[in-house]
A and B are shown apart, each in its own frame.
Chain A
Amino acid sequence: EDQVTQSPEALRLQEGESSSLNCSYTVSGLRGLFWYRQDPGKGPEFLFTLYSAGEEKEKERLKATLTKKESFLHITAPKPEDSATYLCAVRARRGGSQGNLIFGKGTKLSVKP
Chain B
Amino acid sequence: KAGVTQTPRYLIKTRGQQVTLSCSPISGHRSVSWYQQTPGQGLQFLFEYFSETQRNKGNFPGRFSGRQFSNSRSEMNVSTLELGDSALYLCASSEGQLATEAFFGQGTRLTVV
A positions within 8 Å CB-CB of B: 31-32, 34, 36, 41-46, 49, 51, 87, 89, 91, 97-106
| Contact pick for B104, options A41, A44, A105, CB 8 Å | A44
Distance to closest chain B CB from A54 (angstroms): 17
Asked if A49 and B100 sit within 8 Å, CB to CB, the answer is yes
Q: How many residues of B are in contact with the other chain, CB < 8 A? A: 26
Asked if A31 and B56 sit within 8 Å, CB to CB, the answer is no
| In the complex, B60 has a CB within 8 A of chain A | no
- Tell me which residues across on chain B come within 8 A of A91, comparing CB atoms: 100
Count of A-B residue pairs with CB < 8 Å: 60
CB 8 Å contact bits of B91-103 with A (1 = contact, 0 = none):
0100001101111
- Tell me which residues across on chain B come within 8 A of A44, comparing CB atoms: 43, 90, 104
Expressed in whole angstroms, the Cα–Cα distance for A54 and B77 within the complex equals: 42
Asked if A99 and B92 sit within 8 Å, CB to CB, the answer is no
Asked if A42 and B56 sit within 8 Å, CB to CB, the answer is no
Asked if B43 and A43 sit within 8 Å, CB to CB, the answer is no
